[in-house]
């Protein structure tokens, strides 16, 4: 098995962007949990809205991006809606990029 850690997974997830928002999915706070075992990489993620038109494409992109570094492990991406996403999940850098400073939200 190829050594893999959470930081490696976060790094590749930072290359995945919602095409409608110029911020990566990690900094948007869409990734809720990453668990790595000898056999699996499990990712729990959400979206800003259940009607996101790019949902299927982004789920596949997350899967494929992580699978490329998973060292043969199964990659399971679970879509969750609880807890609901909100602006507080975004990184400071993402809020700054989108001009959502505390005064603006």
> Residue 70: its pLDDT value, please?
97
Tokens at 97, concatenated? 């990029």
CATH number of 6-81: 3.30.300.130
- pLDDT band (50, 70, 90) for residue 95: confident
Q: What is the pLDDT of residues 34-84, one digit of tens each?
A: 999 999 999 999 999 999 899 999 999 999 999 999 999 999 999 999 999
Model-level pTM?
A: 0.89
Q: What is the pLDDT of residues 74-91, one digit of tens each?
A: 999 999 999 999 988 999
For residue 8, the tally of other CB atoms under 10 A from its CB is 18
Sort strands 31-36 and 40-45 into parallel, antiparallel or unpaired: antiparallel
Q: Rounded CA gap, 2 and 72, in Å?
A: 8
- Domain positions in the chain are 6-81
Q: What is the pLDDT of residues 21-37, one digit of tens each?
A: 889 999 999 999 999 99
């Amino acid at each position: 098995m190829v050594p893999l850690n959470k930081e490696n997974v976060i790094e590749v997830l930072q290359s995945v962007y919602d095409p409608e928002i110029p911020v990566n999915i990690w900094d948007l706070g869409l990734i809720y949990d990453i668990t790595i075992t000898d056999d699996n990489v499990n990712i729990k993620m959400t979206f800003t809205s259940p009607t996101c038109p790019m949902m299927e494409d982004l789920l596949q992109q997350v899967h494929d991006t992580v699978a490329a570094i998973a060292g043969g492990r199964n990659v399971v991406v679970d879509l969750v809606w609880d807890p609901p996403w909100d602006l507080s999940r975004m990184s400071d850098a993402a809020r700054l990029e989108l001009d959502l400073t505390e005064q603006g939200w």
